[in-house]
Structure 1
Amino acid sequence: MTQVLEDEVAVITGGASGIGRAIARRFAADGADIVIADIQDTPREGGKPTHELIDEETEAETAYVECDVSSVDDLESAVAAADEFGGVTVMVNNAGIFHGEEFLETEEEAFDRMMNINVKGVYFGAQAAARRMVEADGGSIINLSSVAGLEGAGEFVTYCGTKGAVRLLTYAMASVLGPEDVRVNTIHPGLIETTMTTDDVSIIGSEDEDAFLESIPSRRAGQPDEIADAAVYLASEQSSYVTGESLVVDGGMTNTQ
């Protein structure tokens, strides 16, 4: 069976948990070597570290690099770690945080932290990877945004701002890097069942869950593997003529509101 990511080398920020963990495992199963770049290797949802699990499941080469994506030096080190496997060809800027605060009550420290991780981390993660891709034979950069980057939600002003920034950064990066054969796209997940939606946002498992699911045509939350499927498409030659695009994976939520 052909592995669509054979010979690819992927760096995945936030790859220890949630959506990043699912993307890393799927990429490895499809033939890619993987660098997990995360602040810790322990998955938030529990279980073995992602790189150890991949070692058991596949023949992929793996590495874990401790990485705070708000640090440009850490991002450079994470991308450089891929040189051991031949150099980065796919960059997945997945790491992100969420906290909901009323707009009139948001403090500068909380605002800066979310911007540094959700926006700065994407910007300089993409930059570090793109520099190497331009010198090589091109590559694919995948930035994780959110449906919150497509429409505003009053209770999530800062988060919406960061995810909207990721969307527009993606369009601009695609314009700059297209002539260098580097594709840049973004994925906008909807309600996905991870610790972010069970603990941080507290939608899944809450008394409001049923009402929220009623707003989604598919009538269910998505699974991290369903975002991983989209990422495989954008990382592979299956999307060789796709750049500067937003791939929305939300069960129809944003298209029907």
Structure 2
Amino acid sequence: MAQSQMLEDDVTIVTGGSSGNGRAIARQFATEGSDVVVADIRDSPREGGTPTHELIEEETDAGATFVECDVTSVDDLENAVDAADEFGGVTVMVNNAGIFHGEEFLEVAEDDFDRMMDINVKGVYFGAQAAANRMVEADGGRIINLSSIAGLEGAGDFVTYCGTKGAIRLLTYAMAAKLGPEGVRVNAIHPGLIETTMTTDDVEIFGTEAESGYLETIPSRRSGQPDDVADAALYLASELSSYINGESLVVDGGMTNTQ
């Protein structure tokens, strides 16, 4: 793939960048010229293979490093932002880390609720805050928060998950209002059915009867791939979206708005 260098001179932090959508985003951004900090609780991809930061160094001329980061820890998020200083300081923050935990609403345990809120919501909030403090000092930057189509509409089997992803959507709007005057754009991506370890292992959609049922609701008649999400993130990080702020970009093959 020819390098167009759309993100030349950028430094990107990707939480949850070792696997799935985060891995695809980190690799795509590096291909386009950005140095990358992969911030995750583990460097080995859930899907297997070479650690993301090592793969970036093999595939591109971009700089890359891994930082162990539990997004429920504000200190870890601050450390990830500090790690970006090696390359000149963060200019793009991708708050991608998240988990799925589906349970019957009437049986959800408090510990499970708290864990999902801590990772999916607290991690985004304080990841954005840590990056924004540097970006405001530098007179600009871009923050991309990964939500879900579950943050746009309710699903009775995923009440807690929908709550976290809906919170990310509204946090994005509020952050955009606050940070826009400081030169920092904040947008959200809402992926639909994307084939990652979350949907193959955690939710177990692919390879089951549920997969064909979901595909019938998607006008594009295919599931999404992590590269589809990475392409959307690249658009929001690049100057192609310079006048887009506080937006929800849906990446679902038309599933949400056609049912």
Question: Normalising by the residue count of structure 1, what TM-score does the alignment of the two structures yield?
Answer: 0.99
Show the counterpart of 1:56.
58
CA RMSD, Structure 1 to Structure 2 (Å): 0.6
Amino acid at match of 1:67: C
Amino acid at match of 1:35: V
Equivalents in 2 of 1:186, 1:212: separation in Å? 23
Show the counterpart of 1:10.
12
Work out which of the residue numbers 218, 232, 242 in structure 2 matches 1:240: 242
User: 214-223 or 153-162, which moves further after superposition?
Assistant: 214-223
| 1:100-145 Cα distance to aligned partner (Å, 9 max, x none) | 0011000000000000000000000000000000000300000000
Work out which of the residue numbers 202, 205, 208 in structure 2 matches 1:206: 208
Give 5+ residue unaligned stretches, structure 1. none
Extract structure 1 runs of 4+ deviating beyond 3 A.
none
Show the counterpart of 2:97.
95
Equivalents in 2 of 1:46, 1:120: separation in Å? 28
Equivalents in 2 of 1:207, 1:168: separation in Å? 34
User: 112-121 or 210-219, which moves further after superposition?
Assistant: 210-219
Give 5+ residue unaligned stretches, structure 2. none
Amino acid at match of 1:200: D
1:19-168 to structure 2, matched below 5 A, reads 19-168=21-170
Percent of pairs with identical residues? 78
Equivalents in 1 of 2:213, 2:258: separation in Å? 15
Partner of 2:66, secondary structure, is strand
User: 121-130 or 234-243, which moves further after superposition?
Assistant: 234-243
Q: Report the CA distance between 1:2 and its aligned residue.
A: 3.5
Amino acid at match of 2:9: D
Equivalents in 2 of 1:36, 1:2: separation in Å? 22
Equivalents in 1 of 2:4, 2:153: separation in Å? 39
Equivalents in 2 of 1:79, 1:145: separation in Å? 21
Q: Report the CA distance between 1:207 and its aligned residue.
A: 1.9
Partner of 2:29, secondary structure, is helix
Q: Report the CA distance between 1:219 and its aligned residue.
A: 1.1
Equivalents in 2 of 1:55, 1:2: separation in Å? 17
Question: Normalising by the residue count of structure 2, what TM-score does the alignment of the two structures yield?
Answer: 0.98
Count of residue correspondences:
257
